Structure 1
Amino acid sequence: MSISETAPASSGALWTGRVLSGIIVLFMIFDGAIKLPPLDIVTQTMVPLGWPADANVARMLGIIGLISTALYALPRTSVIGAILLTAYMGGAIATNARVGNPLFSHTLFGVYLGVVLWAGLFLRDPRLRALLPFSR
């Protein structure tokens, strides 16, 4: 079965994918938006993670996150956006692991987001389902 022959997702699967993707988009918009001014809480919580309390660094991270999120939200660029967001979350995982934060609540939080991100995309994008056929 080629990508063009992929069966569309059921209505329930499609809407589940949209909701999961929407949760990720809303979370990442919030995450990026608080880094743009940046709020004092953002720069102060960066220090224990080994980042400088620098507004420009926070803004840069916010912009990268927001651009990646916008790419993920747009159907034509959703796969590249998912890849970029996965890389962004990988940086967060590495940062939390490096400073010894708790495994399940802090360090793996990026993994949880990544699973939701890819599940949402898988359910709403027939191209991805054709590329990764979990069942036949």
Structure 2
Amino acid sequence: MLKAIKITGWALTIILALLFTMSAFMKITLHETALAQASSFGIDAATYRFIGVIEIISLILFIIPRTGVLGTMLLVAYMGGAIVTHLQHQQPVAMAIAIETLLWVTAFLRFPELKQRLITARSL
């Protein structure tokens, strides 16, 4: 059972890594579609590129087991910002919420101590 949880956690990590890598790559390279979306949000190209760099650094921290919890918190904050930005501009948020949820599920599978600290009630 423990092995299955570990494998599932890493499989979900790979899926998230692919999603965040594609997203960051589009921002860093100033892909036409990404730049059009940024422009519609009032974000200039240099800022959007910087956001992509933050995204990739957070992802790297998430993937490395030793810094995974820190990376999780940074990606959760990043996705929270994305959700708020989409809401402010009346854009759909379902995909961002799904990614945020997948991120939490993955973090709880990979880092049981995180789940224990955040969810499990302790008696004093």
Unmatched 5+ residue regions in structure 2? none
Write the distance in 2 (CA, Å) between the matches of 1:83 and 1:110: 16
Aligned to 1:56: 46
Equivalent AA in structure 1 for residue 9 of structure 2:
G
8 A Cα contact 1:14 1:123, kept in partner = yes
User: What residue in structure 2 maps to residue 125 of structure 1?
Assistant: 111
Paired with 2:42 and 2:17, the residues of 1 have a C-alpha distance of: 25
1:1-136 correspondence to structure 2 within 5 Å: 10-48=2-40, 50-52=41-43, 54-101=44-91, 106-131=92-117, 132-133=119-120
User: RMSD across aligned C-alpha pairs, in angstroms?
Assistant: 1.8
Structure 2 length-normalised TM: 0.86
Structure 1 gaps, min length 5: 1-8
Residue pair 2:69, 2:111 contacting (<8 A) in 1 also:
no
| TM-score, structure 1 normalization | 0.79
Q: CA deviation at 1:47?
A: 2.2
In the alignment, is the contact (CA less than 8 A) between 2:20 and 2:56 conserved in 1?
Answer: yes
Higher relative contact order (CA 8 A, sep 6+): 1
Q: Which amino acid aligns with 1:22?
A: I
Query: Counterparts of 2:94 and 2:3 in 1: how far apart (Å)?
Result: 31
- Name the larger-Rg structure: 1
> When the two structures are aligned, how many residues end up with a matched partner?
120
Runs of 4+ residues deviating >6 angstroms = none
Counting aligned pairs with the same residue, the percent is 30
